[in-house]
Amino acid sequence: MGRLLKQKWLLMRINQKRSEMIGLGESLGLCAAETIKCSQQLDQLLNDYEKCTNKVVSITLQETSNEFGQYIKGLLKRTAS
């Protein structure tokens, strides 16, 4: 699954799970086992989403730093000539 598609899928699942958890909390109470289990599932989805978005930021920074490195190397070559 592509990264952007995975992010969109995770956001959809997060919103569904959040709605489910709110419903369980209202009907069964916040301390009910089902509500707590749903909350833990939501936590996992949120963690997965954060990991997915951090990879994008990391790759972008790495690419930027490689481009910057190439730029500096080019400048050094020009000044050495």
Look at residues 21, 22, 15 and name the one whose alpha carbon lies nearest to residue 37: 21
CATH top class, domain 3-80: few secondary structures
In this predicted structure, the answer to whether residue 42 has a pLDDT above a threshold of 90 is yes
With cut-offs at 50, 70 and 90, classify the pLDDT of residue 22: very high
pLDDT, residue 12, reads 96
Kindly state the DSSP code that residue 81 receives in the 8-state scheme.
-
pTM exceeds cut of 0.75: no
Name the residue type at position 29: G
Buried b (16+ CB within 10 A) or exposed e, 16-45: ebeebbeebbeeeeeeeeebeebbeebeeb
pLDDT at residue 78 in the model? 72
Length, in residues, of the chain: 81
pLDDT(60) > 70: no
Say if residues 10 and 56 touch (Cβ distance below 8 Å).
no
Could you read off the pLDDT of 2-12 as tens digits, one per residue? 888 999 999 99
